[in-house]
Amino acid sequence: MVRKDSHPDEDRNLIALCRKGDPLAFEELVRKYQQTVLNLAYHYIGYRNDIEDVAQKIFTKVYFSIEKFDIDRPFLPWLIRISINQCYDELRKIRRQKVYVFSELSYEETRSVENLINRNAISQASDKVQHDMHALLYRILDRLPDRQRSVIVMRDLEAVSYAEIAKIFKCTEQAARLKVFRARARLKKLLEEALNKQKNPRT
């Protein structure tokens, strides 16, 4: 889950110290937000890459870009935007290599997916169908446009607020809600199509 204990004033102080060359200040930023970055990387690319390496690349970019950061703005949306862009790059590499490895979902993730599709269809499906649906999730997410994948990951897997999503995409909160609605609708359709193909493999 995205950290809920982000304090803008504390972040601004740490960033100011980073710009003065204080290595301990940057280490503190990493400590505060490392799990957030790891979670985002996991939900984007699963086990298809070393997410710790991805996180290291993200924080390296943050370190070398921190002078450009507008200190009057919240730090977390900026960090998430950098994280998403790096995950885009990693996904493009994976897709070019055509390497797909699918993993089981955690209980929390399974509940998030169930919110997006017909709960009755899931509960009535056999164990094998449910297992196969879970295994298909990352492939289905790969079929979403990058921006729709982003809002699904942020809102439904990482619980990022609509206000924060609006800041990340530089749009109104109403527009952010619309992006999430459209992404959920597209994912629901893809999941339902996948389930139908499993139940009717010859169709």
Same domain, 177 and 129: yes
Q: Could you read off the pLDDT of 17-28 as tens digits, one per residue?
A: 999 999 999 999
* Cβ-contact 160, 154 below 8 angstroms: yes
Same domain, 29 and 107: no
**CATH number, residue 58:** 1.10.1740.10
Q: Residue 145's domain spans which residues?
A: 102-203
Q: What are the tokens at 107?
A: 């209980």
Same domain, 92 and 106: no
Structural domains in the chain (count):
2
Q: Could you read off the pLDDT of 162-172 as tens digits, one per residue?
A: 998 998 888 99
Residue 63 has pLDDT above 90, yes or no: yes
Q: What are the tokens at 70?
A: 């507008």
Which of 63, 97, 131 lies at the terminal end of a domain, its last residue?
97
Q: Check residue 30 and give its pLDDT.
A: 95
In this structure, of 18-32, 53-67, 97-111, 121-135, the range with the lowest mean pLDDT score is: 97-111
Q: Could you read off the pLDDT of 23-55 as tens digits, one per residue?
A: 999 999 999 999 999 988 887 776 555 888 999
Query: Over the range 18-29, which residues count as b (16 or more CB within 10 Å of their CB) and which as e?
Result: beeeeeebbebb
Which of 78, 97, 116 lies at the terminal end of a domain, its last residue?
97
Q: Which long-range contacts (CB under 8 A, 24 or more apart) does 121-129 make?
A: 121/192, 121/195, 125/195, 129/195, 129/198, 129/199
The mean pLDDT value of the chain amounts to 78
Q: Check residue 112 and give its pLDDT.
A: 54
Same domain, 155 and 126: yes
Task: Count the neighbouring beta carbons within 10 Å of the beta carbon of residue 5.
Answer: 6
In this structure, of 17-21, 68-72, 136-140, 185-189, the range with the lowest mean pLDDT score is: 136-140
Residues in the chain: 203
